[in-house]
Amino acid sequence: MEDRRPDQSRRSFLTRAAGAGALAAIGDALAQDKPAAAPAAPAGTIGNDAIKREKHAAMQYHSERPLTGSVPAHEHDFDVTPNDRMFVRNNLLNPDIDAAQHRLTVKGLVDKELSFSLDELKKAFPAVTLRGMLECAGAGRTNYLPAASGTPWSQTGGMGCPAWTGVRLAGLLKAAGLKSGAAHVAGQGGDPGMIATAAPVIRSVPLAKAMEENTLIAWDMNGAPLPKVHGYPLRLVVPGWVGSASTKWVTTLHVLDAPFKGAYMTSSYVMPKWPVEPGQKMPPDAVSTEAWPVKSMITFPAPNSRVKGSGRITVRGRAWVGEGSIDRVEISVDEGVTWQRARLASRGDRYAWRTFTFDYQPQRFGYMTFVARAWDDRGNAQPMVSAWNPLGYFWNGVHRVGVLVEA
Amino acid sequence: MRLDKLLVLVFLGIFSPAGTPQDQDKLISGPGSTLTENKCKICHELQHIRRTPLSRGEWADNLKNMKERGTPMDDAEIAIILDYLAAYYGRDPAPPPSPDTLAAGGADPMQKLLNAHACTGCHTLAQRVVGPSFREIAAKYSSDATAPQRLAARIRAGGQGVWGQVPMPPNPGLSDADLKRLTGWVLEQK
C-alpha cells in the first residue's frame, strides 16, 4: 500500500518484547526520541475521560485532540436533545472554570463597560428558556467528494436541539448602551490552548443577529447547569447559525464596528462566495458562514433495520433551517423519483427542529430505502448533493436510510 | 502481558490508557516528516492530516490558518512542511510512496492477503473505486466496540446497500485467522 503506517514492524516488536521482557520494549521506545505524551489534563482544564463519563455510550468520537464526537441519526430520535447526546466539538482545551469566580464583560463600542458574575447576570435580566438548534458548520462533511479538510462528521453527526435557559444578549447590549457605529458583536471563549501563542477562540455575528430575541447568554441546558464540555458556566447560544457562533465559556463580548478579524473568522468557518470546482482551494472572496440551510434527518428506523412486511412502519425524523421555517418534509421510497408528504408536528420555538412522521405500508419484500427532503418557507429544498467547498461546510443533502423488509 | 509490565508501559506513555498508543500517531516517513509531526502534534492528532489528502493550495491555506491560530513556526519551516504535505498527503497527483514504504513493499503479508482475495480489485486505501476505501470503512466503524465482529461478518458474507448498490461477493475461502487479520488491518486505516 502506498501509505502503510511506518511503525508496523516496531509494533510487532513491541508485542513480542512485552512477553519476553518489557524493559527491552521500553528501551526501544525511549530510543525513538519521541516528544513526551501530552499530560491527560493540564492545570485548569478537564480531560477527555471526565467528559466522556457524562456522555452516552452511543457517542462516536472522531478525535481526542481536540475532542470531537456525536451520536448517529438513529440515536437522535428526540424532540429535545439530551445533554449526554449533544455533540462535542472543542477547538482548544476544555477549561475547568469556577463559576463563582467567572465574569462576563461587555466592552468595545458601548457607553459603559459592564461586568457580571453569574449571579449578577441572573438577577439583572429576565430568564428565558427556549429550544434551539446548534450545528457545527462541518456537520455532514464526510459526504463531500473529494474529501474536505476537517472533523469527519458523518451526514447526521455534529448537531442537536437542546433547551437553553439564559438571558437575551440584547438585554446586556442595551444595558451597556450601543455607540453609533456598533455593527458586530464578538464572543470570546475562556478555553486555553496547548501553548501560550494559541489564538483565543473569537467569533463575531452581525448586530441584528446579536439583538435577535432568541440569541442568549445561557447557563442551563435542559434544566441543569451547562455541562463543562458545553460551556459551563456561561455560553452564547446563537441558534440556527453555525455552532462556532455560540461561543462556549464566554468571558468577553466585544462590540465592534466590523466583523472580528482573526483565524476563526477569516481562515476557518468561511466559504467561497460562489461555488468552486471540487478540489480547488479557497478563493479570495470567501465569506463567513452564518445560518444553516434547510436540512433534515431520519431518526427512525435505524439504517439496515429489519421490518415486518405485514405491518405499517412509521418513519420518523427531524427537520430544521437556520433562518425562516420548515414548510414541508417529503419522503421518497423510490430513490427520489416520486415524493410524498410527511406529517409535520406543529411549530414550536423559532429555531427548534421539528419532528416529522410518515406512515408506510411496504409494497414488497427485500431491501428498500426512505429518502427525506425538507423545504423551507422561502422555496429552498435539500439538494441531492450540496455544493462542494474547500472546508466542507453546510452539507445539507437529502438523508437516505435503507431497511430490509421481511416476512 | 502481566499487569505490572503493562503499568510500566502506561506510566512511560508508551501505551495511553485512552486507547491509541502515542507512538502510533505518525506520518509517512519522508523529507520534512519529523518537523511536520513535531509542529502539528502540539495541538492535535496527526490523523487530522492522514485522513484527508489535499491539494498544495489547500495545504497552504491550512498552514496559514494554523499559523494564525498560534502554531510557532517561521516561514522557512512552513515552506518545508508545505512541500512535505503536498508531496505525501497530496490530492493530485497521487502521493508517491515513501522510501520506507517501498522497502517494506512486495513482501508485505497484508498486501499479499489483499491481493490473494481480490480485495484490491474494488478497494484502495484512500479512494473510492467500486467499493469504499479502506479509510472510509475504518472511519465508519470507528469508536465502536462491536466493529471487528460486524466488519468480519460483512467481509465473510458480502453484502449490498451499506455503501451502494454494487454487491460485494462473499469470501467463504478466507480462513478465520486471515479474516481476523484483515479486519484488524482495515479498522486501523483511519
pLDDT band at B166 (very low <50, low <70, confident <90, very high): low
Of A317, A340, A333, A325, the residue nearest A375 (C-alpha): A325
Where do the H-state alpha helices sit in A187-260?
Answer: 207-211
Cβ separation of A6 and B28 shorter than 8 Å?
yes
Residue B123: pLDDT over 80: no
Segments of chain A assigned to CATH 2.60.40.650: 295-406
Contact A65 B72 (CB under 8 A): no
* Mean pLDDT calculated for residue range A183-188: 98
Residues near B22 by beta carbon (within 8 Å), at least 6 away in sequence: A34, A37, A38, B13, B14, B16
Q: Are A182 and A170 in contact (CB under 8 A)?
A: no
Which residues make up the CATH 3.90.420.10 domain(s) of chain A? 88-288
State phi, psi for A172 to the nearest 5 degrees. Answer: -65, -45
**Which candidate, B104, B66, B59, places its Cα nearest to that of B84?**
B59
Interchain pair A148, B52: CB under 8 A: yes
Spell out the residues 6+ positions from residue A59 whose beta carbon is closer than 8 angstroms to its own. A52, A69, A70, A71, A84, A85, A88, B143
Sketch out chain B's domains with CATH numbers.
15-88 (1.10.760.10), 106-187 (1.10.760.10)
Q: Report the distance separating Cα A357 and Cα A299, nearest Å.
A: 10
> Are A353 and A78 in contact, with CB atoms under 8 Å apart?
no
Contacts of A48 in chain B (CB under 8 A): 18
A23 Cβ contact partners less than 8 Å away, ≥ 6 residues apart: none
Of the two residues B139 and A165, the one the predictor is more confident about is A165
Return the CATH number of the domain spanning residue range A295-406. 2.60.40.650
Q: What is the pLDDT of residue A27?
A: 33
Of A69-78, A330-339, B152-161, the least confident: B152-161
Q: What is the pLDDT of residue B20?
A: 46
Q: Does A29 sit within 8 Å of B12, measured CB to CB?
A: yes
B161/A367 Cβ within 8 A: yes
Q: What is the pLDDT of residue A40?
A: 64
Q: Give the model's pLDDT for residue B21.
A: 47
CA distances from A82 to A38, A71, A233, A358, B112 (A): 31, 11, 18, 24, 47
Which residue is listed with cell 521506545? A29
Report pTM: 0.75
Q: Other CB atoms closer than 10 Å to residue A287's CB: what's the count?
A: 11
Q: Hey, what's the cell of B60?
A: 497552504
Distance CA B64, CA B60 (A): 6
Contacts of A393 in chain B (CB under 8 A): none
Q: Using an 8 Å Cβ cutoff, are B60 and A281 in contact? A: yes
Q: Look at residue A206 in the predicted model and tell me its pLDDT.
A: 98
Chain A contacts of B98, Cβ < 8 Å?
Answer: 6
The CA distance from B93 to the nearest CA of chain A, in Å, is 12
SS3 label, residue A18: helix
Q: What is the per-residue pLDDT across A251-264, written as a single tens digit (0 to 9) for each?
A: 999 999 999 999 99
CATH of A88-288, one of 3.30.465.10, 3.90.420.10, 1.10.760.10, 3.40.50.11540: 3.90.420.10
Would you state the cell numbers that stand for residue A110, as one nine-digit string? 458601548
